[in-house]
């Protein structure tokens, strides 16, 4: 096991930051450290490659502008742009920002809404290129398309699998994101190294914790999130407000942890709100932003003297961050103060270090207008589809087993409803009056129950929405991997087991035909109804962002399907202008399930049995009730019967 204090973690690291543009296949890592050709990426798929660990990881950015809304929003959506979006006013978030971050702790500070997170997103290549202009260089060369998978990005919210332990989460990240070329042993070493570096040994085997089950502490959660990025051994690590939501001691602990990582040569770039002085002292550089613009970008030692030269005196013992943030809050509300700060920032004498650009950077900026933000290019996944499926399915299964509340509830409800249906419709008679009526009632109830019980399928996807977005953006897996794993390990078992239990109980109590074939047709029919219902829920939950919205849409769809299934009303008798709906809904769940079960129950094939006309065909097979024959019960009397 490597010693956490030595640099073995870094020297064994094969994947670090990638910083080139037109390199499509690189075999020798040493050859590509500074090879870069400015130009468009021409290939449709570019493999993830690594650069040597001795690259310095200096990130420089030039004339970054970021605009949202209006036609940019339309371009982002690619299709279906409503008119109100086209005419929407654009909003500029970042204004002509240039600067440089090198190895060490680089803090970005400013009043809320000044654009810190937006800047981090742009630098980490997490923003859609539409609406973004300017140039971001790593070690003086353009970013490679796989750059965003090679840097670490710790988002503001803690994103991990709550039912897994700290160690399991770290292994999940390592197994999916590290290249295939790394052996299992190397991946294990990497994870152990990260656990030691972040001081997570004592809680490595503790689960993260859910809303109902207390897990690791807030600081340990944040350090696990950092660890999930560190397993990549990235040269550049972005963190969006790593101390938000943590108490002072825990925040201190997390920042010291980051300081240790920075001392090992990493470039750590993070946004932070009003840190106390002991934390501020840990920073190497600080950048103050106001209304999307830089007003200071340099070392922490020069902060107080810089602001005193432009007329703001920091009192003795006052925390410099509080002092500057008070000025920035005023500046964000008073244009003249902001103009003064901006004027001072642009003075040639100030921030002169930013003007000294390496030769390559000058080449780019001398082109006048330059556009470095490329459209998304497919980057080869780190793992094969099979490997991804293995790890994602493993996690999904663990999730289901460790959080079995929904599965247990579904099984218990199926058993209860099975008995309820069995008791209410116990041993149905084969008569044309009560017999047919009750059988139709049974079919209707079973179909309705099967449809509505699938609504539990809405939650799993919505619950993991943030996790999926983060993991997909970080290159953990392909979209289809997540979808197939969910289907195989979550949705299908949750439909199959309840359907089997329900059928075993209800089928025999109702007194349907006791042959193996008939039973299995019944079972498959209601199982497919469940799968169909779950698929509808699955589809809607990918479109909606909240549970309530998804629920309303799903209920609407199911009710429409039921009304137009032809079970409740003869479709020929609905308004002609509504009749088009029946064609769309004819293939839907209630319609086909009703038909399937009717054919099974009544022995008819190929025809709808709902209406009185069809039910008269059953007469030869069913005994006429003594006092309530089917013919006497029809509302239109004997005439309708003849029809
Ligand atoms: N997609 C978006 N739609 C509308 N407004 C946006 C969007 N993204 C960012 N903004 C706006 O851009 C501004 C900067 O947002 P950003 O999140 O970068 O600020 P911040 O400095 O990180 O804020 P905080 O410190 O509160 O997290 C805010 O006014 C925000 O409302």
Answer whether 92 contacts ligand 1 (Cβ < 6 A): no
Most confident of 115-124, 401-410, 443-452: 115-124
C-alpha 288 to ligand 1 mean position (Å): 16
Give how far Cα 516 sits from Cα of 206, 512, 526, 598, Å.
48, 11, 16, 18
What pLDDT band is residue 282 in, cutting at 50, 70 and 90?
Answer: very high
Tell me the average pLDDT across 353-382.
54
Pocket test for ligand 1, best of 112, 113, 243 (most atoms within 8 A of CB): 113
If you classify domain 8-151+234-379 with CATH, what class do you get? Answer: alpha beta
Lowest mean pLDDT among 71-75, 218-222, 574-578: 71-75
Tokens at 14, concatenated = 């094969």
User: Higher-confidence residue: 19 or 563?
Assistant: 563
554 neighbors 458 (Cβ within 8 angstroms)? yes
The helix/strand count (H/E) of the chain reads as 28, 12
* Cβ of 638 below 6 Å from ligand 1: no
Cβ of 113 closer than 6 Å to ligand 1, yes or no, is yes
pLDDT grade for 633, boundaries at 50, 70 and 90: very low
Output the residue whose Cα is nearest ligand 1's atom 5.
68
Counting residues of the chain whose pLDDT is more than 90, the rounded percentage is 22
> Is 354's pLDDT higher than 50?
yes
Q: Tell me: the pLDDT tens digits for 548-600?
A: 999 999 999 888 877 776 666 666 666 666 666 665 555 555 566 666 666 66
Supply the pLDDT for residue 385. Answer: 87
- Please identify, by atom number, the ligand 1 atom nearest to the C-alpha of residue 156: 27
Q: Which atom of ligand 1 is nearest to the CA of 289?
A: 21
pLDDT of residue 374: 54
Pocket test for ligand 1, best of 116, 244, 269, 291 (most atoms within 8 A of CB): 116
**pLDDT at residue number 551:** 93
For 403, other C-beta atoms within 10 Å of its C-beta total: 15
Q: Provide the pLDDT for residue 170.
A: 94
Mean pLDDT of 506-511: 86
What is the atom index within ligand 1 of the atom nearest the CA of 118?
18
Q: What gap in Å lies between CA 119 and CA 25, rounded to an integer?
A: 30
The predicted pLDDT at position 380 comes to: 64
Mean pLDDT score of the chain: 76
Distance 387 CA to ligand 1 centre (A): 37
Question: Is 251's pLDDT higher than 70?
Answer: yes
Distance CA 58, CA 195 (A): 26
Least confident span in 180-184, 491-495, 589-593: 589-593
As given in the structure block, the two tokens for residue 577 are 């202008």
**pLDDT computed for residue 579 by the predictor:** 64
Confidence of residue 433 (pLDDT cuts 50, 70, 90): low
Confidence (pLDDT) at 641: 38
Which residue has tokens 């309303």? Answer: 552
Which atom of ligand 1 is the closest one to the Cα of 115? Answer: 18
Q: For the chain, which residues make up each domain, given as ranges?
A: 8-151+234-379, 385-642
Q: Is the pLDDT of residue 268 over 90?
A: yes
Contacts 24+ apart (CB under 8 A), 125-132: 125/151, 126/153, 126/473, 127/66, 128/76, 129/373, 129/374, 129/375, 129/376, 130/72, 130/75, 130/76, 131/66, 131/67, 131/68, 131/72, 131/75, 131/76, 132/64, 132/65, 132/66, 132/67, 132/373
Indicate the top mutation candidate among 68, 93, 95, 107 to test ligand 1's pocket, ranked by most ligand atoms within 8 A of CB: 93
Q: Among 69-78, 100-109, 572-581, 628-637, name the one with the lowest average pLDDT.
A: 628-637
- How far apart are the C-alpha atoms of 629 and 641, rounded to whole Å? 12
Q: Which of 360-364, 559-563, 621-625 has the lowest mean pLDDT?
A: 621-625
Work out the pLDDT band at 491, boundaries 50, 70, 90.
confident
| SS (HEC) of 484-552 | HHHHHHHHHHHHHHHHHHHHHHHHHHHCCCCCHHHHHHHHHHHHHHHHHHHHHHHHHHHHCCCHHHHHH
User: 160-173 pLDDT, tens per residue?
Assistant: 998 899 999 999 99
ipTM tops the 0.90 cut? yes
- HSE (CB half, 13 Å, CA atoms) of 305? 6
């Amino acid at each position: 096991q490597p010693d956490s204090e030595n640099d073995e973690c870094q020297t064994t690291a094969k994947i670090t930051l990638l910083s080139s543009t037109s390199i499509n296949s690189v075999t020798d890592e040493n050859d590509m450290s500074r090879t870069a050709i400015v130009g468009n990426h021409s290939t449709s798929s570019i493999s993830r490659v690594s650069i040597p660990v001795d690259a310095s990881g200096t990130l420089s950015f030039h004339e970054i502008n970021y605009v949202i809304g209006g036609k940019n929003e339309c371009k982002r959506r690619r299709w279906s742009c409503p008119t109100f979006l086209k005419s929407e006013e654009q909003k500029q978030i970042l204004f002509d920002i240039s600067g440089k971050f090198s190895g060490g702790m680089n803090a970005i500070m400013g009043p809320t809404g000044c654009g810190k997170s937006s800047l981090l997103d742009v630098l980490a290549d997490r923003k859609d290129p539409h609406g973004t202009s300017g140039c971001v260089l790593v070690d003086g060369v353009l970013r490679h398309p796989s750059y965003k998978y090679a840097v670490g990005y710790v988002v503001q919210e803690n994103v991990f699998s709550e039912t897994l332990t700290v160690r399991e989460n770290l292994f999940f990240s390592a197994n999916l994101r590290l290249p295939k070329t790394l052996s299992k042993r190397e991946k294990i070493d990497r994870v152990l190294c990260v656990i030691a570096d972040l001081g997570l040994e004592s809680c490595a085997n503790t689960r993260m914790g859910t809303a109902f089950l207390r897990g690791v502490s807030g600081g340990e959660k944040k350090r696990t999130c950092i660890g999930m990025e560190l397993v990549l051994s990235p040269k550049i690590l972005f963190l969006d407000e790593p101390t938000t939501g943590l108490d002072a001691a825990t925040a201190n602990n997390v920042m010291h942890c980051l300081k240790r990582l920075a001392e090992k040569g990493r470039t750590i770039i993070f946004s932070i709100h009003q840190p106390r002085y002991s934390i501020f002292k840990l920073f190497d550089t600080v950048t103050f932003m106001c209304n999307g613009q830089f007003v200071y970008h340099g070392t922490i030692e020069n902060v107080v003297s810089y602001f005193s030269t432009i007329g703001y005196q920091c009192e003795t013992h006052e925390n410099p961050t509080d002092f500057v943030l008070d000025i920035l809050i005023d500046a964000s509300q008073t244009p003249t103060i902001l103009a003064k700060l901006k004027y001072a920032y642009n003075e040639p004498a100030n921030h002169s270090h930013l003007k000294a650009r390496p030769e390559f950077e000058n080449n780019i900026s001398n082109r006048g207008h330059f556009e470095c933000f490329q459209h998304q290019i497919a980057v080869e996944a780190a793992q094969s589809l099979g490997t991804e499926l293995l790890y994602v399915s493993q996690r999904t299964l663990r999730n289901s087993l460790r959080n079995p509340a929904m599965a247990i509830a579904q099984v218990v409800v199926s058993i209860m409803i099975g008995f309820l249906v069995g008791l209410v419709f116990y041993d149905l008679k084969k008569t044309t009056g009560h017999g047919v009526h009750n059988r139709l009632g049974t079919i209707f109830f079973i179909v309705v129950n099967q449809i509505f019980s699938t609504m539990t399928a809405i939650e799993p996807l919505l619950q993991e929405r943030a996790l999926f977005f983060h993991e997909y953006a970080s290159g953990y897996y392909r979209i289809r991997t997540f979808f197939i794993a969910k289907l195989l390990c979550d949705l299908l078992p949750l439909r199959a087991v309840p359907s089997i239990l329900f059928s075993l109980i209800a089928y025999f109590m109702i007194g349907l035909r006791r042959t193996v074939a008939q039973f299995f047709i019944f079972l498959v029919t209601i199982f497919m109804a469940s799968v169909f219902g779950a698929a509808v829920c699955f589809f809607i939950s990918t479109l909606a962002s909240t549970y309530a919205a998804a629920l309303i849409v799903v209920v609407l769809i199911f009710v429409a399907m039921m009304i137009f299934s032809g079970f409740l009303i003869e479709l020929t008798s609905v308004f002609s202008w509504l009749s088009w709906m029946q064609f769309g809904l004819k293939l839907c769940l209630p319609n086909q399930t009703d038909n399937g079960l009717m054919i099974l129950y009544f022995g008819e094939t190929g025809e709808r049995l709902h209406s009185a006309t069809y039910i008269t065909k059953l007469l030869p097979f069913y005994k006429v009730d003594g006092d309530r024959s089917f013919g006497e019960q029809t509302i239109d009397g004997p005439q309708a019967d003849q029809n």
